A and B are shown apart, each in its own frame.
Chain A
Amino acid sequence: MSLYTRAIEMKIHPGLNLIIGGNGIGKTTLVNTILFGLVGNATYEKLDGIKKEVPLIDEDYFHGRLEPGDQDLAQVTITIGVGMDEVSITRALYRPQILRLHHKRARTRDVQSITGSPAELERRYRKLLERLLGLPTFEDFVFIVANLLIFDENRRTLAWDPEVQNRMVRLLSVPRQLDESFSKLSVMVTQNDTKGRHKSEDRKRIRSAIDRWMEAKADEDVEPQDVDKERQNIEKRLNELDQQIDRLEGEVEDDRLKVNSEIQRLKELNARADEIELKRAPLIEKQTELESQFYGSIYKSVPAAYVLLLEALVKEGLCEFCHTEGRQLRALGRELKSGGLCIVCRSPIDYSKSLETDNKQSLGDEINSIRETIELLDIELTTFGAAQATARSTITVLQEVLAEKTRSIRNLDTERFELKTRYTALSADFNGDEPDPWLLEQNRAIKKLDDEIEKLYRKRDDAKAKLREINEKILQVLRSVNESLTPLFSEFASQFLGTNCELVIAQRTRQGKPVAYMFPRFLDKERPSMNQVSESQRFFIDQAFRMALISWFTQTNSGETFCIVETPEGSLDLAYEENVAKMYLEFAKQGHSIIATSNLNSSKFLVELFRHLGDNPKGKVLDLLAYGRLTSVQDSHKVDFNKSLKQLNLPPL
């Protein structure tokens, strides 16, 4: 397999579970594989400023990580225990597809194998988890995983993000009904407010039209014969306009057809170019393969590295391998080179290896014929390329013409509308003192809008009042949550900070809606912004906050959960390393499952954790170095790795 050298099986125990390895060995990939197994490509709402639906794991995450031959083989199976129920899901890594889905029921203990199309399986998996976890939607589950349960290297803090925190605490603590009506009312406030504002805009527009009309009327002092003449002129112009617009609309229709057919043609060209490309790619591959066979016995006899080693020896008297340097080495190099002896094993080098000329001849012919086909395809591709470019520029020109004509139609249409209004106004003037019908109509429209706006704003204000009421209730819930959360938070945070720490509740308004949230307070100072704590404090206070939240939730809802922490020891000094380890151990002691990844390095963090894992850390530690591929740099430090592994009581590489 491309990701790891063999299959990895991992059971998450209550307490600390460690994934250790080196840089690039695949710790993050493993964590993401677990998450992918859990949620696939499901999205959640990323609440940062603009609401955005983003996937937890990108659809192409595994694409670059898998060799072509492994793409169909790579899969992940996750077994999730919820209470006594067990859901086991197998997903293909390369394409978003559920391969198998089993549900072991709590009551009957029989295993049901769920079947169906991939889309159907995805839908049923999500429904099943929603039901078992008691969450309103699967997206909420993904939201909790993304924002609470993983603490990845992007280090997004929950403790200082009011919106995410508010949503999270509400999901975990506020009764469903209360929360739903809160969301419904927020939507209602926004919708009614927006609608009301739109209607106001309409009203403003009509009012200004009336003003303009009145001004124009006041300026006019027209004689009946002038009116007649003007009406005739308008009729004539209207006629012209009708004809022009008709003609242009016909042309636009024709142009559209032309553009469409051109686009169709371009699509066909693209498809044919793709076809050629498909034919060409395997030929190129074949050519490369044959060429390497062809050159095999020509240049293969001595690898480039050998030549570089020998040249360094001869010219500089330097052994590039062990960095020994000296005159004797230069002499030795010259002796070996002139004697035609191998610098590694001192055997004479045989340069007269058979050429296999016949073989080369036929190989050469084959390469030439493939090359010829490729060149013909290249010519075809160039021709297509030119045709594609022409088609593209034709489309651009046609589209510009089309846009220009559409603009003209719009302008003419505006003129027609204005003339028609004027024509009506002129006709109305001759109806004596009768009120103008257009004006009457506009006034009626304003009246109607007045009523509608008032109704909408009343609805909005009602919803706002109710929202405030519900928020008060939610605040009460949060206060009680805060009461139980604070001691837990303090317990974890003080392990790290070495001083007491509590949570303060605060409220602020976001887009007209109240948002309640908590932030930490320690050393007699409230810290409502994350800039008021140092960078490393920030991460671990946030970690403590998450642990407190998980701890509180599992205490009140009796259950188990897990959380994932990636390389937590980064950027810590000696003293804090030990404190962070203590904080994790405290959390683990309470029976929560933590999956932590860590690099095998000289830090005390792992040693501290291992000290508490007992004599037999096996089973709780996954040593990825045994599964992944070492880089040449890591390979050359095998001795150091083994030293660290020995210190941790783990088998050497």
Chain B
Amino acid sequence: MINRPAYLNDVLFALYAAEKLGWTALARTHFQRILYLCAALSDLANSEWGYDFSNTLYGPFNRYISTAPDELVHQRYAEAIEVTVQRDSKMKATFRATDAGKERVELIAKLRREQRRLAWIYSVMGVLTVYGPTVTSKLAFIEPTFTTMKLENRKGAIELSGENNQSIQLLRRLSDQLERDYSIHLDTPVSHLILYFDYLSRDIGRSEPK
């Protein structure tokens, strides 16, 4: 069981990375998608992610992550911008880290484990930057573990461990093929990420990099 700071940390890290990578702001769904991709591929970073996502109509979902931005806003670590209240009273907003939030991230990253987590989130978001936010939203939907769950119509937590992690299996097949047929050797986690996202996003209308 992972404790409350872990969710808050991850969302705050994503906001921090967004700022550094020049993303304007993150919407609620972005957190779910980005952190899901981080979790699905965390094997590359040699770490266990620690919490699950469920298979829902709207993509991979974790309820703690969905409320974390509000909590961060309340703690003044993040601010909500472009707030619109919809007809069903739901609030739509994008979020951005405040100075206090960034200061906190730097403090939390004194813990080496959190530092590694921040670095991983930064790497994943960094590679995603090339494809733009639209692709980011769609990627999680065609991500193989999630797709398998959907196809088999299985409810509950998306199984990301060991043999059940289809994402890592696919990535392994891809990198093996590169090595075998073209003698291309990928040596860093980031190079694996590039291969993976590039392969997955080939059918999605990608935008020009900024």
Contacts and interface: CB of A to CB of B under 8 A. Distances in A.
Interface of A: 291-292, 294-295, 298-299, 301-302, 304, 306-308, 310-311, 314-317, 337, 351, 355, 357, 360-361, 364-365, 367-368, 371-372
A302 B91 contact: no
B100 A315 contact: no
Nearest to B107: A360
Interface string B66-97: 01001100111000000001000111000000
B111 interface: yes
Given A299-B8, A316-B89, A368 B111 contact: yes
A372 B112 CA distance: 9
A301 B74 CA distance: 10
B110 interface: yes
B4 A299 contact: yes
Which DSSP category, helix, strand, loop or mixed, fits chain A's interface?
helix
Interface string B1-21: 001110010000000000000
Contacts of B111: 291, 294, 364, 367-368, 371
Interface residues of B, number: 22
Given A307-B74, A310-B74, A299 B5 contact: yes
A368 B110 CA distance: 8
B113 interface: yes
B28 interface: no
Contact of B113 (A299, A317, A371): A371
Most buried by B among A295, A316, A371: A295
A325 to B, nearest CB: 11
B91 A355 contact: no
Nearest to B108: A298
B206 interface: no
A367 B5 CA distance: 15
A368 B112 contact: yes
A304 B5 CA distance: 11
Contact of A304 (B71, B89, B91): B71
Nearest to A292: B3
A304 B110 contact: no
A304 B71 CA distance: 7
16 contacts: A291-B3, A292-B3, A298-B5, A298-B107, A299-B8, A299-B75, A304-B4, A307-B74, A314-B91, A351-B75, A351-B100, A357-B107, A360-B110, A364-B111, A368-B111, A368-B112
Given A317-B89, A361-B110, 18 more contacts: A298-B107, A299-B4, A299-B8, A302-B71, A302-B75, A304-B67, A307-B70, A307-B71, A311-B67, A315-B91, A351-B76, A351-B100, A355-B107, A360-B107, A364-B110, A364-B111, A368-B112, A372-B112
Contacts of B67: 304, 307-308, 311
Contacts of B70: 307, 311
B112 A371 contact: yes
Interface string B95-109: 000001000100110
